A and B are shown apart, each in its own frame.
Chain A
């Protein structure tokens, strides 16, 4: 029973990371309708910039974090303004292929600049694991879980309670009408990309100390993040967070009691089964198309 509890607790940190990555993905999709397959590569690139600032600039971690967030927002905004905007009226498939191409280009450029040796990134919080009812969790893992929930709530509040959030929801509902109503659609779309990539960047910075930072660090994590977004209902922020934790804990239990090789297989089998029963995911809204 103790081992089961530890597996559940052990799934929370990665669950939080999947949730954060999924939040960034969902925010961009929710606002622009584009699935950003390159989010992991963009997040990793900003973390590599953080590493460079720490290694070569010798600046404090907090400053490096701010620089990395600025870099992530810059990468997201630049990609949206220079590339995605060109294809905003193109078929969805074109947009998907573009973001897939971006993934490969960014990973390749990052590998050329920084190489592929895993690099050390410090944890936000150090310290021995804390024991609660003989279950261990490190201060850093608690921070990840707490930050995930806080960011999820903050994003929800922004989208539901602010004029900017209202504008983003209006754009998501109907960009043309939003524009006619005076909403500066391009500004908010760029902001959504910037913030979305920054949130995914937070996930990358938090996972790098555990797995080692290299250009392909987010490849597998990105797959789990997609799974979390789909499970939660692509378009639901709450769903992304809950989906992330469900995936994190679930994959841990699968690895522990069945096989590590079947983690993704069984997770996606579960998602397929869920979507069969509930096509909109756990928290998604059923789409209605009028023709």
Chain B
């Protein structure tokens, strides 16, 4: 091999490696321009850990909602002259990765966290965030550890507890007059909290099955429910397993009443599970997002997404991010004086009846829980969701 050939091959390898790194960098931190200091003058930096890869990567659409809201605020001058910036990092839906990424965000000087995703991930991150005194606004989880007496005081939930979602669907299953109800839930903090809510509604499930988030084959699960003779199934599952389970039921010609958690469906679920999604009932705190809408919050959200995040899906996930950003910014606006973290937490505590996309949010000293109610919608055959409760 000549020296020239070696040089050419090294150069080619370098270009290939550079391309791969470039693509990976674009994919893993699509909302970030790099780890800039949170203390940069005139900029308030919020961090977000969210799965941008792996089985729950769909939830990274919430980043788009936060970005859209921040952009709309920045366009009108920011908050007290400060521009808002979001640094979103990939935690791969893995708690150990979430902790590592959180440490990096803290090290980079983030002012606060907004919309971190994943019950198990958030549970792992909270001790680090509490130790650093970082306010956490709108963790995307309704697990009971966020609502317990020992929840760190730097946490401000926006979502209702999963027990509320489970309770809503359990109650609605009884309202539908179902005789034998099965429950499928994810075997982690999310699913377990959800199941507690179902039981709290007074429902006594006839069959209960748990699953792992990476599971793809749900044929035995569907058969188990069918063999148990259930006439309704409550599903506390993330989108991909929900689709697989619904398709598995359809393959057995099994169409019980389906009641799905508010995290179970995506816009593509209709076409991915066309036999079972239409006619399903879904727990919700975000109103139907179809436009034109009579809900001014929905209209504003849709307009901002079109303007600031064109081409990004207007989904319930981006709506989560938008709503959480609304709360995060409201807390900033309540600060009088220097923008410090303790001042920010006081600003959040003084939020009263804030109108958000998901309803009114209020906090107070020692009361850091946002929404506390949910409703049920029905998936119509044309892709729309119609409130039924």
- Which residues in A have some Cβ–Cβ distance to B below 8 Å? 3, 6-7, 10-11, 13-14, 105, 107-109, 111-112, 115-120, 128-129, 136, 138, 141, 207, 209-212, 214-217, 219-221, 248, 251-253, 255-256, 260-261
Bound-state Cα–Cα, A105 to B244, Å? 26
| Contact A210-B248, Cβ < 8 Å, known A118-B240, A220-B216, A252-B217 | yes
| Contact A6-B24, Cβ < 8 Å, known A212-B243, A216-B54, A221-B216 | no
In the assembled complex, 13 residue pairs joining A and B whose CB atoms fall closer than 8 Å, in A order, are: A3-B223, A3-B227, A109-B27, A111-B52, A116-B57, A118-B268, A118-B269, A136-B251, A210-B244, A211-B243, A211-B247, A255-B217, A260-B220
Would you list the 10 A-B pairs with minimal beta carbon distance, nearest first?
Answer: A116-B57, A120-B271, A10-B219, A112-B27, A255-B220, A120-B272, A212-B243, A256-B220, A211-B244, A3-B227
Bound-state Cα–Cα, A200 to B200, Å? 46
Our pick among B23, B212, B215 for the contact of A108 (Cβ within 8 Å) is: B23
Bound-state Cα–Cα, A7 to B224, Å? 9
Taking CB atoms, residues of chain B closer than 8 Å to A221 are 216
Nearest CB of chain B from residue A190's CB, rounded to whole Å: 19
Our pick among A11, A111, A120 for the contact of B219 (Cβ within 8 Å) is: A11
User: Residue of A at shortest CB range from B315?
Assistant: A117
Nearest CB of chain A from residue B289's CB, rounded to whole Å: 15
B210/A260 in contact, CB under 8 A: yes
A119/B268 in contact, CB under 8 A: yes
- Additional 12 contacts, C-beta under 8 A, given A7-B223, A216-B54, A253-B220: A6-B223, A7-B219, A13-B219, A14-B216, A105-B20, A105-B24, A111-B52, A209-B247, A211-B244, A220-B214, A221-B216, A260-B210
A10/B223 in contact, CB under 8 A: yes
B252/A136 in contact, CB under 8 A: yes
Our pick among A3, A105, A117, A252 for the contact of B266 (Cβ within 8 Å) is: A117
B251/A141 in contact, CB under 8 A: yes
* Interface residue total, chain B, C-beta cutoff 8 A: 48
B212/A216 in contact, CB under 8 A: no
Nearest CB of chain A from residue B134's CB, rounded to whole Å: 27
User: Residue of A at shortest CB range from B254?
Assistant: A136
User: Residue of A at shortest CB range from B267?
Assistant: A117
Number of A-B residue pairs at CB separation under 8 A: 131
Bound-state Cα–Cα, A105 to B28, Å? 12
Taking CB atoms, residues of chain B closer than 8 Å to A119 are 268, 272
| Contact A251-B217, Cβ < 8 Å, known A118-B268, A129-B252 | yes
Nearest CB of chain B from residue A8's CB, rounded to whole Å: 10
Bound-state Cα–Cα, A209 to B217, Å? 12
User: Residue of B at shortest CB range from A261?
Assistant: B212
Within 8 A of A (CB), among B219-235: 219-224, 227
Bound-state Cα–Cα, A7 to B187, Å? 22
Does B53 belong to the interface (CB within 8 Å)? yes
* Chain B CB within 10 Å, residue with most, of A212, A253, A261: A212
Nearest CB of chain A from residue B60's CB, rounded to whole Å: 7
Nearest CB of chain A from residue B265's CB, rounded to whole Å: 10
Bound-state Cα–Cα, A30 to B313, Å? 45
Bound-state Cα–Cα, A112 to B57, Å? 11
Nearest CB of chain B from residue A124's CB, rounded to whole Å: 14
B243/A260 in contact, CB under 8 A: no
User: Residue of B at shortest CB range from A107?
Assistant: B53
User: Residue of A at shortest CB range from B61?
Assistant: A117
Bound-state Cα–Cα, A238 to B214, Å? 28
Does B253 belong to the interface (CB within 8 Å)? yes
Taking CB atoms, residues of chain B closer than 8 Å to A11 are 219-220
Our pick among A14, A220, A251, A261 for the contact of B210 (Cβ within 8 Å) is: A261
Nearest CB of chain A from residue B221's CB, rounded to whole Å: 7
Taking CB atoms, residues of chain A closer than 8 Å to B252 are 6, 10, 129, 136
Our pick among B61, B224, B243 for the contact of A256 (Cβ within 8 Å) is: B224
Nearest CB of chain B from residue A116's CB, rounded to whole Å: 3
Bound-state Cα–Cα, A93 to B215, Å? 29
B269/A260 in contact, CB under 8 A: no
